[in-house]
Structures are given as C-alpha cells and as structure tokens.
Structure 1
C-alpha cells in the first residue's frame, strides 16, 4: 500500500445534486496542499469499489434517484459493513444517509429498505425544512444548509454528534433537535452547502483519522490558510443571517 489516499465518490450522477462533488474536492485539496498524493474515483451502478479505498463519499438526490441506486447499494451491504467496521472513513449526506439507515417510511406507506449501516430509521414528512443550520459538536460548530422532508428516529446504539442551535435538524435530541449521526469514522447528516468546504475542522477530523490509520504524515500549514479564510468568511456571513431578526427558516 502506498502513501496515496484513495477517495471514492458514489453515484455522482444520481446522488450528486447538492454540490456533493465539493465535499470530495475539499478532502482532496486539503490533502494535496499538505503534500499527500490523492486518487479520486467515481463509482457508478455496477462499478467495483477500488481496492484499498480510504474514504467513501455519498451524496444527495431525489426519491427517484434513491430508487435507481437502491438495489446496487444493497448488493454492497456486506462490503460496506466491513469497510466501516475496519475504521475507515465514510461521509453520507441526505438521500444516501437515508439509504444507509435501517430504512425509510414513505408518505404513501411504502417502506424503502435500508442497509442498516447506521442505527436510525427515517420517516418522510409533509413538512419540508429549508434553510441554514448550525449545530454545536465536540469537534466545533458545524454550519451549512438543510433541505429535507424527513425525521430520523435514532436507535439505542446511535451516536448523536451535534446539538442544533439554528434550523430544524434531523432528529430529536433532549428538548431540542440534533444533527449528524456517527458510527466509528462514518458520518450521516443532512448538512449540505456542501458541508466540508464550509467546515474545515470536520474535514480535517476525517483526514486526520484516515492518515493516522494509514501511518501517513499530514498536518495543516500555510497552504491551508486561504482555504480556511474563505470558509470563515462564509460561516460568519451565515451566522449573521441566522441571528438577524429578519431571518426565518423556510418551511415548505
């Protein structure tokens, strides 16, 4: 195994509609600016997962796209379970997070079977939550955009990461709302934007875990400062909007 980190984007055509390639680019560019070589692969329906993959990225899409990829994704259930159990990194947003859950209960009564990779179940709702979201996590504040019509019910073994301070979030947490479920180094969330360019500390947590597992030397430096500056500017603008008295979360 070389020092090259291998990043895989799953179903970029069907599940890549909310800037999901930006999550891949964020991981790739931050590694490259630290001098770590990177290979990026796109895996579509029927394509094999490249050997020795380090990070899997799953994006978002409509219900029609979920139906298209569901069968292929289920055929990979055992392989993905081994991947997550081995401590490798996985990042899933929106529709893909739902498919990796225990299942999705649709409004017409249909139940869409999930892989059970994450211990929560999804119920689609008639209320659509659209707007900025801010959640406090042990690794820092996560900021982004949410656009979903679903609520997650977490199982007893689910690890809830974030406490929502603005926006609706994905699930109930105490008297408030929560966002992001974690299993080992795998994450499921509804934070879009895309999320990783807006949240460098989250990106770096994923990269830190990946490089540590591989024994690769990786650290932040001057080459990352401009990226962080851009992210901080966008985050500050969002926080200003959220805390403005004129701001309202959009409900459709």
Structure 2
C-alpha cells in the first residue's frame, strides 16, 4: 500500500481539545481508502517530514500560543510554500488564529501571526460556547465551539461553511460563517474533536491530499465507527433543538 504521511505539529503544546482524535480520524479515512497512514509527531525544534500529505495543528490557550510562537514563526516559509503547493493543512482553535495575520488581544496587545491565511483575529469578552452545525460544500459539520474570538476575512469567498446553529467565527453575508478554506488549508473553531464526529470532512482532507499526489483511492466501506459518528451527531442535533446555546461574558 502507498504510504500516506500525517504530521501533527506541537501535539503536546497545542492538543488540548482532543486533537489527537482528529489525527486518528484522518488515519482511519486514509486506511479505508486503501492507503497506509503513518503519523509523525513534530514538536518545537523538530523537522516536518519531507513528504507530508496532511499537517494537523491543534488548539491551546494563549500561554501555549506564546510558548510555540517563535518556533511557529521559524516555519513560516516552509508552511507558506506547502500551502501554495496545495498541501493539505487542518488547524483548529489557537493554531488557526496564528495562521492569520495576527491576534488582537483584549488587553490592547497583539500577537503577530504567520500571515499564511487571509484573516485577522480579535479576542473578545463574548465567549461562544455550545454545539454548532455548519453546512459546507457537500458535508454538514457538527461539533462544539468554545472560543472568544471574532475573525475578519480579507477575502469573503474563502468562507467554507455557513452556520446553521451556533455562533461561528466570522460574519458571512447576512449570517455567520465557520471554517476557512484557502487552497487545501482548512482552519476553524469547531472542536469535539471535529473529525471523528464528521468522517465526511476527514474524507475531504484525504481526497484532496490524494488528488495532489495523483493517488488512486478505493471506495470506502462503512463500519461501526461511522455508525457511532452518526448516532453522536443525531444526539447533538437533539440537544441543539431542546436546549439551545450559551454565551458567557468574560
């Protein structure tokens, strides 16, 4: 089988919201499509694999973002080239914020971003907490949002999903949006972790990576984990209908 390489960047520092689960979901999707997934954990000061198919970067608090900031910035050229070459990248929460042009903090300070993705983030005192559903092209995404940030996109056409329940990360037309897609780089605030709940989104990532390399994929077969995801999504939908959402003022 063809090796399919997944790199999780900063797994210890930016992996607090089940981000390893996102990696496992990509592994499972790749294996189901006839590939041999191999995951490499990459910490500060360590090199990304030369031939990586998907890079996953997770979530962490502001202290963790500051802790990896210098190392993250040192990778900017490599990551920018990777995205420009249609490399698949999936970032959630704090790491997604750092991939933009910068983060404006509530104390008036700023944290420079890498400028790879076309948005800027403002931290707010309005914390968005609750289940969220997002309609993307062909895939309905269900998960959990817990963030205090508002994103401003420099190119509105890169909004990948429309929020159908919840708050989301940015304004989109007359509604709200969630998840940005720039080439094959995906960034957002849906947690949970999101990919085990949404195997269709994991398959989008694997398919994009396979197309980049010209790999042939087999037709996936449904299994018990797909049924678990279906049941979990249904339970969240029921909760959304019955309970609604919460907003926490900081």
Q: Same fold (TM over 0.5)?
A: yes
**Could you give the per-residue CA deviations for residues 17-44 of structure 1, whole angstroms, max 9, x where no partner exists?**
0000000000012222333111100111
1:217 aligns to 2:216 (yes or no)? yes
Structure 2 match to 1:237: 235
**Could you give the per-residue CA deviations for residues 188-241 of structure 1, whole angstroms, max 9, x where no partner exists?**
10000111111111111111111122232223333x332221111111110111
The SS at the match of 1:37 is: strand
Distance 1:211 1:248 in 2: 38
Structure 2 match to 1:144: 143
Unaligned 5+ segments in structure 1 are none
1:160 aligns to 2:159 (yes or no)? yes
Structure 1 match to 2:248: 251
- Kept in 1: contact 2:145–2:189 (CA 8 A): yes
- Kept in 2: contact 1:158–1:182 (CA 8 A): no
1:22 aligns to 2:24 (yes or no)? no
Unaligned 5+ segments in structure 2 are none
Distance 1:236 1:87 in 2: 34
Distance 2:220 2:48 in 1: 32
- Kept in 2: contact 1:130–1:250 (CA 8 A): yes
Farther-moved stretch of structure 1 (13-22 vs 196-205): 196-205
Count of aligned positions: 249
1:185 aligns to 2:191 (yes or no)? no
TM-score when normalising by structure 2: 0.96
TM-score when normalising by structure 1: 0.95
Distance 2:135 2:36 in 1: 32
Distance 1:140 1:38 in 2: 23
Equivalence map 1:167-178=2 (5 Å): 167-178=166-177
Distance 2:183 2:26 in 1: 18
The Cα shift of 1:250 comes to: 4.1
- Kept in 1: contact 2:131–2:245 (CA 8 A): no
